[in-house]
Chains A and B, each alone.
Chain A
Amino acid sequence: MGVFDLSLRHKIPLWGSLLIVASALAISTALLFRAYDDLKQDLFISSESLGQTLAKTLFPALLHDDLWRAFEIVHAPFHSELKNNPLEAESIFVVNDAMQILVASDPGELPTLSDMASIGPEYRRLATELRLAPLTMTRAYDFPEARHYYIATPIAEAGRQIGILVISHDQAAFWQRFLDMTVRSMLIGLLVVAVILPINWYWGRRMAEPLVDLARGMDAMMQGKPVPLPTAENYSYRDELGQLFAAYRKAAAALNEKTLLEQEMVRTERLAAVGRLASGIAHEVNNPLGGMLMALDTLKQRGQLDTATTKTAALLERGLQQIAETVGALLVEARVPARRLTKQDCVDVHTLIEPQIRKKRIKLDWHCDMPEVSSLSAGLVRQILINLLLNAVQATNADGHIMMEAIHTEKALRLTVTNTGEPLPEAVRKHLFEPFVAGREGGHGLGLWVTYQIVTQLNGQIIAGGQDGETRFVVTLPLQGSTL
């Protein structure tokens, strides 16, 4: 994996840092070059102005051969304590036409009336230069490999030149000052970088975090399991990132919906298939079962049976009766034309369920809003309601609470049965409407299946839900000529 394949989380801060360091270096280098030029320029300019001022005051002193006054003048700039100022001259001296020192700020080094050539190679060189090209104005001398800069100013007035003023600057002091400046500016640069780098790091991470999250989300989506993105939830801006998040949310929602739909379809189909199978088998079993019971009945009526046969017949009859009951429960016949549902049916169901309710000391809320006659089949609705209520009674603890609400509108009948108690576990809820799934102890597991079959045959809908210690079943049945 190369550097370019790194996560944006690292790449953005990394590139940012590189850019910052590079800029800091480039700027400080440029500034240093500039500072060097400026410093040198300042040195020459300040020296030139000092030289011209001194030359002007020196003229009368030299004209009157007042050596002490001349000394006081060239020595004056050295009273300052700022010894390390690079703009401070190292020495100031006056030379005459014969290239002899007339007076110097440090006479110990440059004695009066000594030959410049005898003092040192740099001075000899300067003397040669001054002799070769007579000065008409201030000039700076920067000899290669010399230890000093020299700034020479003619001491002249009204065309009469009586000497040359030379200001010499120590290059070492100049370089020292430049070095100090370099170190200082580097420290400042480091400080700035030290402040900016963490900011850049933080900002880079902040930039990268949503992208990284988005990439993770897209990955999950590719696998068909979209996940909610924490950064996306907190991202309230409408920039490109915000748009991406919105698109992601939309896609994820669509995908989730599709998945749910598919699952629902699969479940519905499965339940339908199971229903068809079950009722098919029930029909097949029911027909011979009727015959068998009839035969047993005939056998009993004929009489003269010995004790063992009678016992066996009774055993067979009880077994067949149990099969008949189970098969009867499985046989959901909705197409049989039946009595219409009336208001009285609601009262009947209430009466039927009453003993169970009382036994468990359950509080029952009953709200039945029903017309005198409905277009729905009374038997089926009663079966649905009884099944749901029995289910609820079973699920409710003693002293619990059950609520029944039936609302009849122009288009549909909605039955809502709510009971207190533990909510349905997820595992149970998945297979709730399948046959022989005993959600609770004591049930044969057909009640809800039958209910589901009836509701499905009536083109209705049954939804199991609930929250906060409540379980709720809502059944919606369309009236004739209506759809849900």
Chain B
Amino acid sequence: MLSKTISVRFDVRRRQILGWLSALAMFHGGYASTAWGGVKPLRVGLTPAFVHDEYGMLEEWRRYLEAKLKRQVEFVMRDSYRETMDLLRLDKLDFAWICDYPFVYLKDEVRLLAVPLNQGRPFYRSYLIVRANDRARRDMRDLKGAVFAYADPYSNTGYLSPRYQVRQLGEDPARFFRKTFFTWSHRKAIEAVATGLAQGAAVDSYVWDTLSRLRPDITAKTRIITKSVEYGFPPFVAHHAVAEEDYRAMQAALLGMRDELIGKRLLDFLNIDGFVVGDKHMYDDVAKMMHAFGEY
């Protein structure tokens, strides 16, 4: 029982290690053969902003980008936004796919690269969910005194937005719920509600929608009671230090994905429709909410 879980974890870790090893091998091979010999690899930070289960597909995406950029690309995955943000701050990442909240938070260090299209538009919402069999609760007000799951302290839809909604009700988000906890990903927040550990959670609409496609058995155990206003979709950002031509190349690679067969397949896997250039004013609402909590 336990050993199996451990072995699964080990398996994941082993796959990671294998990935690193192959990356390393490629790195060395790169020097020797051709392609991107000698040039520093581009490091792309990935966060739980999207549903990533299939490491094989991610690897394919990485190779796709390498082929497009003619340069080595490294994916750096972290389980919390905080860690990715720290890596950005420490200049250990060139690009990152982060949540809109960290984007606004890091507005001085990063600049907008591209915004994914979710159901054709570069926006998403925060879903307030409860257990499917919980018929009594209809909105945030009914969750007073409940056990509530937040996704990540740097998530907009999973933390900032629900707290803002509570605040709109004239309540103190710190006292409104009986108990709160972080699951560090939207998917796990959905699972927390599905299993009954939390009576409510606020999650990324994109993640919920994607999960309902991949694992309908999990989402079927939850019920969306309210949907928030639209927010700008978690963007791809570039560190300020990234050279202009690298910035352009990466942007072009992302924007061009939906015009190619392989790119389309990868987009389909990510459950997005493509990338657009975006506009940083799309994230003004986030800044407003942050302001309400004295963070902006």
On chain B, the residues within 8 Å of A79 by CB distance are 1, 4-5, 8
B4, A67: Cβ atoms under 8 Å? no
On chain B, the residues within 8 Å of A466 by CB distance are none
Q: Is B147 interfacial (CB-CB < 8 Å)?
A: yes
Interface string of B145-165 (1 = CB under 8 A from A): 001010000000000000000
Partner of B149, one of A65, A68, A80, A108: A68
Q: Is A53 interfacial (CB-CB < 8 Å)?
A: yes
Known: A68-B182, A108-B195, A113-B179. A76 touches B188 (CB 8 A): no
On chain A, the residues within 8 Å of B131 by CB distance are 108
Q: Is B37 interfacial (CB-CB < 8 Å)?
A: no
On chain B, the residues within 8 Å of A108 by CB distance are 131, 195-196
On chain A, the residues within 8 Å of B178 by CB distance are 113
Interface string of B191-211 (1 = CB under 8 A from A): 010011111000000000000
Assembled-state Cα–Cα distance A107/B192 (Å): 9
A67, B197: Cβ atoms under 8 Å? yes
Assembled-state Cα–Cα distance A457/B108 (Å): 157
Q: Is B2 interfacial (CB-CB < 8 Å)?
A: yes
CB distance from A177 to the nearest CB of B (A): 15
Partner of B147, one of A54, A77, A112: A112
B184, A78: Cβ atoms under 8 Å? no
Q: Is A149 interfacial (CB-CB < 8 Å)?
A: no
On chain A, the residues within 8 Å of B197 by CB distance are 67-68, 71, 103, 107, 112
Q: Is A111 interfacial (CB-CB < 8 Å)?
A: yes
Closest-by-CB residue of B relative to A65 is B181
Assembled-state Cα–Cα distance A68/B201 (Å): 13
CB distance from A44 to the nearest CB of B (A): 16
Closest-by-CB residue of B relative to A54 is B2
B192, A76: Cβ atoms under 8 Å? no
Q: Is A369 interfacial (CB-CB < 8 Å)?
A: no
Assembled-state Cα–Cα distance A139/B196 (Å): 28
Closest-by-CB residue of A relative to B1 is A77
B2, A113: Cβ atoms under 8 Å? no
CB distance from A221 to the nearest CB of B (A): 77
Closest-by-CB residue of B relative to A109 is B196
B188, A80: Cβ atoms under 8 Å? no
B192, A111: Cβ atoms under 8 Å? no
Partner of B188, one of A50, A68, A113: A68
On chain A, the residues within 8 Å of B1 by CB distance are 50, 76-80, 82, 88
Closest-by-CB residue of B relative to A67 is B181
CB distance from B138 to the nearest CB of A (A): 20
Closest-by-CB residue of A relative to B4 is A80
Q: Is A106 interfacial (CB-CB < 8 Å)?
A: yes
Number of interface residues of B (CB under 8 A): 21
Q: Is A75 interfacial (CB-CB < 8 Å)?
A: yes
Partner of A106, one of B183, B184, B192, B196: B196
On chain A, the residues within 8 Å of B4 by CB distance are 79-80
Assembled-state Cα–Cα distance A65/B181 (Å): 8
CB distance from B184 to the nearest CB of A (A): 7
Assembled-state Cα–Cα distance A80/B1 (Å): 5
Q: Is A66 interfacial (CB-CB < 8 Å)?
A: yes
CB distance from A172 to the nearest CB of B (A): 19
CB distance from B152 to the nearest CB of A (A): 11
Assembled-state Cα–Cα distance A50/B6 (Å): 13
A113, B147: Cβ atoms under 8 Å? yes
CB distance from A300 to the nearest CB of B (A): 142
Assembled-state Cα–Cα distance A77/B199 (Å): 23
Closest-by-CB residue of B relative to A70 is B181
* Residue picked from A66, A106, A108, most chain B C-beta under 10 Å: A108
Partner of B195, one of A66, A80, A107: A107
CB distance from B73 to the nearest CB of A (A): 31
Closest-by-CB residue of B relative to A79 is B5
B2, A76: Cβ atoms under 8 Å? yes
A112, B192: Cβ atoms under 8 Å? no
A77, B179: Cβ atoms under 8 Å? no
A75, B195: Cβ atoms under 8 Å? yes
Q: Which of B1-30 contact A (CB under 8 A)?
A: 1-2, 4-5, 8
On chain B, the residues within 8 Å of A53 by CB distance are 2
CB distance from B12 to the nearest CB of A (A): 13
On chain B, the residues within 8 Å of A77 by CB distance are 1-2, 5
B184, A68: Cβ atoms under 8 Å? yes
* Residue picked from B4, B149, B183, B197, most chain A C-beta under 10 Å: B197
On chain A, the residues within 8 Å of B184 by CB distance are 68
Assembled-state Cα–Cα distance A228/B212 (Å): 93
Assembled-state Cα–Cα distance A107/B198 (Å): 8
Q: Which of A53-86 contact B (CB under 8 A)?
A: 53-54, 65-68, 71, 75-80, 82
Assembled-state Cα–Cα distance A106/B198 (Å): 11
Assembled-state Cα–Cα distance A77/B1 (Å): 5
Closest 4 CB pairs of A and B: A67-B181, A108-B196, A107-B196, A77-B1
Q: Which residues of A contact B (CB under 8 A)?
A: 50, 53-54, 65-68, 71, 75-80, 82, 88, 103, 106-108, 111-113
Q: A76-B2, A106-B195, A108-B195 are in contact. List 12 more A-B contacts (CB 8 A).
A: A65-B181, A66-B182, A67-B197, A68-B149, A68-B182, A68-B188, A78-B1, A79-B8, A107-B196, A112-B147, A112-B198, A113-B179
- 19 contacts across the A-B interface (CB closer than 8 A): A50-B1, A67-B181, A68-B181, A68-B182, A71-B195, A75-B195, A76-B2, A79-B5, A80-B4, A82-B1, A103-B197, A106-B195, A107-B197, A108-B195, A111-B147, A112-B147, A112-B198, A113-B178, A113-B179
